[in-house]
Structure 1
C-alpha cells in the first residue's frame, strides 16, 4: 500500500505540474499491439477509437522485436531498409558537408521530400530538429523505448494536419512496463572504425489496480567517424569525365584519378593571363611549374582533399524519456510525456581553399605587390623576386599586381562541433463521459543548437596582413597604421608552412551558429458513437487544435557578411501559427450480409487558418469491404495540404556552392550547337573564345561556381491528391494457409503548386537554349578573367522558392507474412516489396515532366530504383535464435537530364542492383539474460562508384551514400538483462 501511494502521488505531481505545458493524441493508438503485429494491419490515421478495424490506407508496422533484431542505435538505420522509404535529406553518411545539421537523421516517404513526411510520437507532433523546417531528428527518439513504428502511406492531412502529404511515421512508445531492462552493446567495422557504444536503461512500474503507471528511459549511444582516406574507393580525389575526353569509348564516364584540387598548401601564384603564367613550390621550397594532377614528366602538385573528409559523421547522444498516467477513477485520468535529448556531432573537411578573389573582390583578385608610401613606390618584401620580376600593373593604379590561390593548411581543417538539445513535454486529461471519449492537451517542444567551427579566416585582417612594407621591429610590418595598432602581423603565403603562428592568430576567425526551433500545441477532441445503425454504430470524432512554429538561425557576424571567405549566411527568423478544426466519421453499411461480412465508409475533413498562407482545406474518404473473413478490400481518396515551412518563406539570400554543367564549354566562334549563339552573346564567353579558340574552363572554374538561395514570403500551400486501393488476404479458413497474410496496395500521389527552388541546371539550360531568356537573370558570369578564374566562367547561379510545379509518384506495395512451427522451432517470415511505376517532377510550369524513377536523379539527389524489397527471417529454437534481413535495391541508370547534356540517350549508363545481408544470433544465457551477436553487410558489399561530377554523388564518399552502404561490414555484440 505504501509503495502504491508513493507511486500515485508521484504520478499526480508529474501530471499536474506538466499540465501547464503539452500534447496531441490519436485515439486509434490506444489499442495495444498483438504479438504478431508485423503481420496484421493496425488502425492508425484515425481519431475514432476502433481497435478491431483495419486501416483503409496502406500501413506497415515494425515492432520492438524488429528493432532489437536490427541492432540499430538510431531508428533511421532500420526505417531506411523499408522499401516505402526514399532518400533522407540528412543522415550520418550524407551530411558531413552541410553548413549546419551534420549528423541529423531524417526520413522521406516515397521520395517526396522530408518536409512532406509527418513524424509523430504517440500520434502527436514532435518538435523539428532542423532550423526552418518541420523534419524531425530521429536522434532524439530512443530506440529501446519504442513499442512499434507504424508507416502510413498516402495523404493524411485531414487527420493530422499539414505535412502528411506522402504519409505518416507514427512512433509508439512503450507503456505499462514493469521492472527494469538493461541493454548494452559495442561494435565496430571490419576496418576498425565506425566504433559503436550503446547503453540503455528502461524502468517502469504500475499501480496495483493497473490504472496508473510511470516509465522512464535513459540511453547513451556513441558512433565513431569513418574517414574517406580509410576506404580505397574514396581515398583519393577523383572526378568523373566523359570518356570521349580520355581516349575511351564516348558512351561512358570514367573516373579521373587523381583529380586533385589546384588549391594547395604551398600556393599557386599567377602573374599573367595565360595558363602558363603561374608557378608553385615543391616541398623543398624550389619554384616549379604547376601540374595539378601530374604528367609524364612531373609529379602532381595538387592537393588530395580526401585525406581530411569523412564518410560517416561521429555522433554521441544522451537520451531521457518518461511517460506516465494517473487515473483519478475508472473514467478520467491525466497523462504526461517528457523527452530530453542531447546530441553532439562533429563534421570535418579539408582546410579552407583561399582565393585572392575572396580578399580583393573589388579588384578581381589582384593583390598589390608594392605601395605608394610618402610619394615613393615601396615593394612588399615578402613577395619573392621571381614573382616580382614577372608581374605588372593590371588595374591601373601604378602598382604591380599578382593573384594567388592557397590551401590554408596552417589554419587546420574546417571542423564543426554541433551541440543540440531537444526538450519536449506533453500533458493533458482524457476520459469517458456517457460513452464519449474526450481529450484536452497542451504541448511545448524546443530544439536548440550551438555550433562552433574552425578553419575560417577574417578577410579584412588577411588583407591587412598581406599588405606588408619594410619597417617595424622585425624589419617587416603591416602597411596600415590602424591595423598595426590592432595587432596586425604580416603574413607570408609563399610556400608550404610559411605562415607564422603570430600571423595565424591574427587572421584566424572561429565561426559560430545558433539555431532555435520552438513548437507550441494545444487542442481538444471528442469521439464516440452518434447512434446505432443496423450494421453497427455510426462513430464520429470532432476536434480543434492550435499550433505555433518559430525558428531562428543566427551565424557569427563575419559569416553573416561573408567576411570569413566562406558562405555568406545571413540570419533567418520566422514564425507562423495555425488554428484548425476537424471532423471524422465512420459509417457501417453492411455486416454479416451475403458478400459483405463487413462494409464501412470512412471520411474526414479539416479546415486550417494559417497566419502565413491563409485558409486551407483537406479531406479524405475511404472504404473497407470484406466479402468474407478471408479477404478484405480497402481504398482511400485524399486531398492533403502542406503549408510552406519557415525557410521556404523567410530565408534571406544564403550563399551556396553548387555543382552545375556549363553548356557553353567547347563552344567556338563558328559552332552551331543548341546553346552556342546565346553563349557567344555573353561578353566573357566571347573573350574566352577569342583567347583560347573555344570556350575553355579550368578545374578551378568548375569547382568555383557559387550562388544564393532565397525564400519567398508570397508562397501558398501545396495541395496533394492521393489514391490508394488494396486487398488484404488472411486465409484462416484454409488450414495450410492459416498462418499466412498478404497485402497488395496501389498508390498514386500527385502534388499541385509544389514548392521548388528554381533548379540551377534548368535555369542554365533555359537561358542558353533560348527557350526562356528570363532565367538568364539567375546567372552571372565573369566578364573578364579574374584572379584564378577564366573569362566567362559562371560566377553565380541563384535560386528562389516558387509554387512553380508539380510532383508525383505511383506504384504498388506488396507484403507477405507467415509464421509457424518448423522442425523443433518457430519460423517467422516477412517480405515487403515496392514497385515504383513513376516518380516525376515538373519544377516549372513550362518545363517538361522529368521522370526520376530508375535513375540516379539530379532532382532527388539520389538513387531511386523501381524495385526495392526487404526480407526478414527469424527462427527461434529453445534458447537460440537467429534473424536475417536481406535488403534489395534495384538497378538504376544515370539521370536522363544529365545524360542529355552530353548528348547520350536515356538509360545508356547503368548501375547494377545491390543486395545487403544482415544477421543476428541470440542466446538466452538464462531467463533474464540474453546475449546477441550481429553483423551488418555481412558480405562486405561495396558501394557502386558514383564519382564526383555525377548526379547522386555525396562529397567525400565517391558514391551515393544516401542509399548505398559506404562503410562496409560491421560487427556488434550486446547483452540484454531483465530485472
Structure 2
C-alpha cells in the first residue's frame, strides 16, 4: 500500500478559536450519513432533540490548556471536580487524576465517551475517566449532552454525556511546543506534541499517529500568602461569632511538634530550641507564633501536585469493500504524580490509630531481673514528673510527636492507561451497521513515605542500657529481629538507624479492566409524508473489574495511617436498545418540520439485576429562525465496583460541628438530653462546666467508608425544554430549561447529617457514631472518635435550572469578530440521604453558585489574532448544614463572586508557523479565603481549590508548526 502526504491545512490552527460551548451544527457533506451525540440513528438529517453544546479543536488551542479538564470546567454546566491537580494532594490514591462533574450531580453520573463509545475508568472502583489520558491536540470536538441519556448510552448518563470526538484525518505533520510558569515562578509547564497523518493514494486508507509529553510543576502552600501559615477559622469551635467565620486564626499551629509533647498526671511538657523542658504553647504566649512550640503544617503542603504525562495515540481505517470498512483506535497514557504532606503525627496512646491501643501508657522504665530500669534516653527532669498511672508499678507517660526526622509523607504514583478498539462498519442499501470490540485497563502503582510500623515503635520505645552502657531494645526477640531503640525526647533526636527501623514505606497497586463488544444497525427504511422514518437497534456486552491492594500494614492500619483493606470485584452487563425517529409534519403553516423520537434500553447486570431506561422527545422547527425541542427521560445508574465491594476504608473528615458543644449539666432541649446520655460527654461537662473541645479533638475525628453488595440501580428522571433562535445569519441564541431528579440514589449519608440526625432524635444514625470515653493525650472525654458511613440506596437528588447561550460573528474594521456567551442559572438543587430526611438544599453553596457564565471574545485581522475568555463564578454560601449546626445565619457564610480573565495573542508567520502567547488569570484574581475548619476548604489550600484558582496569574508561550 502506498501513501502520500500533503501539506497540513492551517485553517483550524489559525481559526479564531474564541468560542466554546455553543449549540452548533456539525458540518457535513450533502447526503453524508452521520451519527451525532444524542441519537444512534445514522442519517444525513441528523439533529438532536436534546441540548448539545460543542467545544471545538480551535477552542482548545485558544485556551493553551494541556489537559482537557482545564477548559471543560469553564463551561458553567459543570460543577467542582472530585479530583484535579489542585484538590487531590491529600487523597490516598488517584492523586492528580482529572475528572468532570455535570450539574454537580457527581462524577459517577457523568458518562464520558470517546468517539461515542465507553472508555476505561481512571481510578479504582469508579466509573469516571481520567482526562489526563485524552490527547488534547488530537481532539476534533467535544459534544456535551446535558440531560439523562442512559437509553442511548447506558448506565452513568444520569447527569449527561461528554462525547470526545477524535480527529480521523490529518494531512502532514503538526508540531506544538509550549512553555509557561506562574508569576511566582512555580507551576512550570513544558509541553511538546507531534501529530502525523497519512492517506493512501487510492483514498481507501487513513492513518493518524500522535505523541505528546507534558510536565506541570508543583505549587506549594508556603509560596502563597493565603496558605503560607497553618490556620483555622477563628469562629469554628472558638468564638462562635459569625463575624469571625472567614477570619483565619493564624498561626493555628498543630500541637504535634517535632520535639514532642509529653503528658503525665496533671500536666504536660515539651522542649524548647535549647533542649530545655518547658510548658507547651501551641502558638506562643501572645498567639503570634513567637515562642510557639507547635508545627506549621502548611510549610510542607502542596496546592497543585506536579504531573507528568506521556501519551501515544493512533487511529486508522481501511475500506475493504464498498460495504465494509475496518477501523481501530489505540491509546496509551503514562502519568506520574507526586503528593507532599507534612510528616506523620503520632499519638502514643490517644488519637485514632495509637501506638498503644486501649489507652495503654508508655512505660518510662522497664523491669530487668526484677529491678526497675529507667529509659536512658529520657531526661531526668521529665522522669521526675512521672507517676504510675496504670497500676503496674512502673512510671509511665504518653506523648505526641511530629516525625520530621523520619520522612515527609507523600506518594509517588505511576499510572498507565491502555485502550484498544477495533471494528467494522458500512452501508448495505438503506442500512448502516457498526460492530466493535474493545479492551482497556488502568494500572496504578503507588509508593508512599512517612508512615511508621506500630509494632516496631512499641519495641523501640522500651529502651534499656546494656552492660557496656549502650542503649538497646528491652525485648530480646525484637533485638534479634533488628530492633533499634528510639529517642523521642526533643527535635531531631531519632537516629538514622532508628528512623529506618520505624519507617514503613507503603505501597498500593490498583488495576481496572474494561472489555466490551457491541453492534448497531440503523437506517431509514420507510419514506413517510414528512420524511424518512429513522430506526436504530443494537446490543452491547460489557465486563468491568477492579482491584485495590495495599501493603499488609496499611490493610490492617498497623502503620498508624488510614486502614485500607483489599477491595476487589467486578460485574458484567448485557444490554439491548432501540431508537426510532418519526417525522410527523413538514412544510406546513408554522411547521417547517416536526419530528418525534423514542428510545429504550434494557439491561441485565450481574450485580444490580435488571434495569430499563427510556427517553422521548420532539423537535419542532417553526421556520428557519425558531425551533423548539423537548425531551423527557428515565435514566439508570448501576452501582460501581467501589460502591459495591469497598472494604472499610479509613478517612479523616474535617469541618464537622459537634452538636454537643456548649451543652451543660442543666441545659434543656432534645439535643442536650441526647448528649448527656453519653458517659464521656458527662465526664467532659463535669471537668469543664460545659462540653468543650480542644484543637486535637477538632482535628482527630476518623471513620470508615464501606461498600454494600446489596445495592440496586438508582433512577433519574429528566426533562429538558429548549428554544433555538437564529434571528439573523450571524446570531444564534438558545434557551434551555432542565430538571433532573434522582431517586434511590447511591449515597454515603454525610457525617454532618449523621450527627444532626442522631442528636435530633433519629437513633438509626447513632449506631455508626462513637465518642471517646476518657481523656487521653490531647483528646478530651466525650470527643468524637469514629463516624462510619455505608453506601445505601436511600438518597435523592434534584437539580433544576436554565442554560442560555448566544453566538455572534461579524466583520469589523477589516477583521473578523466573534463573541459567545454561555450562562447557567441554578434555580433549585437539593439532596437527601433517606426518603424521609429533610432536603439538604445546595442551591448557591460553594461549588454550586446560582449564577455562572463564560464569555469568549475573539478578533483576528491579517496575521494577528486575539482571544479572551472571561469566567464568572457567582456569590456562594457555606454549606447550610454546617451553618445550621453552628447556629450561624446564612448571610454570615457568604463567599464573594469571582471573575477570571484569560487571554491569548497569536501571530501567523508564513503558511506553516503560528506563535502564541497567553496569560491565564490575567488580573491575578485572588481566591476567596475559606480557612480550615469550614466546609469547602481543601487542606493546605485555604480555599476550594477545585472551584477557584489558587495559583494566580500564569504565562505561557508556544509555537505551532505544520509541514509536509
User: Could you tell me the TM-score, scaled by structure 2's length?
Assistant: 0.95
Question: Paired residue for 1:664?
Answer: 660
User: Which of 807, 810, 816 is 2:800 aligned to?
Assistant: 810
Deviation of 1:378 after TM superposition, in Å, equals 2.2
Render the CA deviation track for 1:141-171: whole Å, top value 9, x for unaligned: 0100001001100000000000000000000
Question: Paired residue for 1:54?
Answer: 47
Question: Paired residue for 1:18?
Answer: none
- Listed as ranges, the matches of 1:564-643 within 5 Å are 564-643=559-638
Q: Determine if contact 1:181/1:978 at 8 Å carries over to the other structure.
A: yes
Question: Paired residue for 1:309?
Answer: 301
Q: Determine if contact 1:359/1:462 at 8 Å carries over to the other structure.
A: no
Render the CA deviation track for 1:249-273: whole Å, top value 9, x for unaligned: 767542211110000000000002x
Distance 1:253 1:38, change over 3 A: closer
- Listed as ranges, the matches of 1:160-179 within 5 Å are 160-179=153-172
Question: Paired residue for 2:318?
Answer: 326
Render the CA deviation track for 1:502-528: whole Å, top value 9, x for unaligned: 111111111100010000001111001
In structure 2, how many angstroms separate the alpha carbons of the residues matched to 1:756 and 1:707?
16
User: Which of 260, 280, 285 is 2:270 aligned to?
Assistant: 280
Q: Determine if contact 1:214/1:325 at 8 Å carries over to the other structure.
A: yes
User: Which of 745, 751, 760 is 2:742 aligned to?
Assistant: 751
Question: Paired residue for 1:536?
Answer: 531
User: Which of 837, 842, 851 is 1:867 aligned to?
Assistant: 851
Deviation of 1:630 after TM superposition, in Å, equals 1.0
In structure 2, how many angstroms separate the alpha carbons of the residues matched to 1:244 and 1:615?
48
Deviation of 1:774 after TM superposition, in Å, equals 2.1
In structure 2, how many angstroms separate the alpha carbons of the residues matched to 1:252 and 1:443?
52
Distance 1:594 1:752, change over 3 A: same
Question: Paired residue for 2:10?
Answer: none
Aligned Cα root-mean-square deviation (Å): 1.7
Q: Determine if contact 1:782/1:790 at 8 Å carries over to the other structure.
A: yes
Query: What secondary structure does 2:892 align onto?
Result: coil
Query: What secondary structure does 2:764 align onto?
Result: helix
Gap runs ≥5 in structure 1: 8-32, 732-736, 857-862
Q: Would you say 1:392 and 2:387 are equivalent positions?
A: yes
Query: What secondary structure does 1:687 align onto?
Result: helix
Distance 1:37 1:746, change over 3 A: closer
- Listed as ranges, the matches of 1:91-170 within 5 Å are 91-170=84-163
User: Which of 959, 971, 977 is 2:943 aligned to?
Assistant: 959
Distance 1:363 1:587, change over 3 A: closer
Is the deviation greater in 650-659 or in 44-53?
44-53
In structure 2, how many angstroms separate the alpha carbons of the residues matched to 1:820 and 1:570?
61
Distance 1:753 1:341, change over 3 A: same
In structure 2, how many angstroms separate the alpha carbons of the residues matched to 1:38 and 1:694?
58
Q: Determine if contact 1:464/1:478 at 8 Å carries over to the other structure.
A: yes
Render the CA deviation track for 1:585-640: whole Å, top value 9, x for unaligned: 01001111111110000110000000001000000001000111111100100000
Render the CA deviation track for 1:799-850: whole Å, top value 9, x for unaligned: 0000112001010000000112111100111110000101110112221111
Deviation of 1:674 after TM superposition, in Å, equals 4.5
Deviation of 1:972 after TM superposition, in Å, equals 0.2
Q: Would you say 1:839 and 2:829 are equivalent positions?
A: yes
Render the CA deviation track for 1:736-788: whole Å, top value 9, x for unaligned: x211111000000000000111211111112222x211211111111111233
Higher relative contact order (CA 8 A, sep 6+): 2
Q: Determine if contact 1:243/1:253 at 8 Å carries over to the other structure.
A: no
Distance 1:347 1:51, change over 3 A: farther
Query: What secondary structure does 1:464 align onto?
Result: helix
User: Which of 539, 549, 557 is 2:552 aligned to?
Assistant: 557
Q: Determine if contact 1:739/1:819 at 8 Å carries over to the other structure.
A: yes
Gap runs ≥5 in structure 2: 7-16, 27-35
In structure 1, how many angstroms separate the alpha carbons of the residues matched to 2:48 and 2:844?
30
Q: Would you say 1:777 and 2:772 are equivalent positions?
A: no
Q: Determine if contact 2:752/2:882 at 8 Å carries over to the other structure.
A: no
In structure 2, how many angstroms separate the alpha carbons of the residues matched to 1:592 and 1:552?
57
User: Which of 911, 923, 926 is 1:939 aligned to?
Assistant: 923
Aligned length: 937
In structure 1, how many angstroms separate the alpha carbons of the residues matched to 2:285 and 2:56?
58
Q: Determine if contact 2:608/2:712 at 8 Å carries over to the other structure.
A: yes
Q: Would you say 1:762 and 2:757 are equivalent positions?
A: no
Deviation of 1:45 after TM superposition, in Å, equals 1.9
Q: Would you say 1:849 and 2:839 are equivalent positions?
A: yes
Q: Determine if contact 2:22/2:806 at 8 Å carries over to the other structure.
A: no
In structure 1, how many angstroms separate the alpha carbons of the residues matched to 2:469 and 2:236?
55
Deviation of 1:50 after TM superposition, in Å, equals 2.5
Query: What secondary structure does 2:458 align onto?
Result: helix
User: Which of 45, 55, 63 is 2:56 aligned to?
Assistant: 63
In structure 2, how many angstroms separate the alpha carbons of the residues matched to 1:912 and 1:124?
40
Q: Would you say 1:907 and 2:891 are equivalent positions?
A: yes
Q: Would you say 1:449 and 2:444 are equivalent positions?
A: yes
In structure 2, how many angstroms separate the alpha carbons of the residues matched to 1:418 and 1:473?
46
In structure 2, how many angstroms separate the alpha carbons of the residues matched to 1:572 and 1:957?
30
Deviation of 1:650 after TM superposition, in Å, equals 0.6
Deviation of 1:373 after TM superposition, in Å, equals 2.5
User: Which of 677, 681, 685 is 2:681 aligned to?
Assistant: 685
Query: What secondary structure does 1:964 align onto?
Result: coil
User: Which of 256, 274, 279 is 2:249 aligned to?
Assistant: 256
Question: Paired residue for 1:466?
Answer: 461
Q: Determine if contact 2:704/2:788 at 8 Å carries over to the other structure.
A: yes
In structure 2, how many angstroms separate the alpha carbons of the residues matched to 1:352 and 1:371?
27
Deviation of 1:909 after TM superposition, in Å, equals 2.7
Is the deviation greater in 665-674 or in 463-472?
665-674
In structure 2, how many angstroms separate the alpha carbons of the residues matched to 1:248 and 1:528?
67
Question: Paired residue for 2:11?
Answer: none
Distance 1:706 1:198, change over 3 A: same
User: Which of 877, 898, 917 is 1:893 aligned to?
Assistant: 877
Deviation of 1:46 after TM superposition, in Å, equals 1.0
Question: Paired residue for 1:401?
Answer: 396
User: Could you tell me the TM-score, scaled by structure 1's length?
Assistant: 0.94
Distance 1:37 1:710, change over 3 A: closer
Question: Paired residue for 2:233?
Answer: 240
Deviation of 1:472 after TM superposition, in Å, equals 5.6
Is the deviation greater in 106-115 or in 278-287?
278-287
Q: Would you say 1:227 and 2:220 are equivalent positions?
A: yes
Render the CA deviation track for 1:880-919: whole Å, top value 9, x for unaligned: 0000000000001222221112222233331111000000
Deviation of 1:183 after TM superposition, in Å, equals 0.2
- Listed as ranges, the matches of 1:315-394 within 5 Å are 315-357=307-349, 358-394=353-389
Query: What secondary structure does 1:234 align onto?
Result: coil
In structure 2, how many angstroms separate the alpha carbons of the residues matched to 1:251 and 1:877?
52
In structure 2, how many angstroms separate the alpha carbons of the residues matched to 1:413 and 1:874?
47
Q: Determine if contact 1:41/1:55 at 8 Å carries over to the other structure.
A: no
Question: Paired residue for 2:908?
Answer: 924
In structure 1, how many angstroms separate the alpha carbons of the residues matched to 2:642 and 2:37?
30
In structure 2, how many angstroms separate the alpha carbons of the residues matched to 1:523 and 1:363?
56
Q: Determine if contact 2:810/2:816 at 8 Å carries over to the other structure.
A: yes
In structure 1, how many angstroms separate the alpha carbons of the residues matched to 2:204 and 2:858?
35
Render the CA deviation track for 1:70-106: whole Å, top value 9, x for unaligned: 0000000000000100111000000000000110000
Deviation of 1:37 after TM superposition, in Å, equals 9.4
Q: Determine if contact 1:162/1:642 at 8 Å carries over to the other structure.
A: yes
In structure 1, how many angstroms separate the alpha carbons of the residues matched to 2:20 and 2:356?
66
Q: Determine if contact 1:427/1:443 at 8 Å carries over to the other structure.
A: yes
Distance 1:249 1:740, change over 3 A: closer
Question: Paired residue for 1:19?
Answer: none
Distance 1:267 1:49, change over 3 A: same
In structure 1, how many angstroms separate the alpha carbons of the residues matched to 2:339 and 2:187?
14
In structure 1, how many angstroms separate the alpha carbons of the residues matched to 2:393 and 2:373?
11
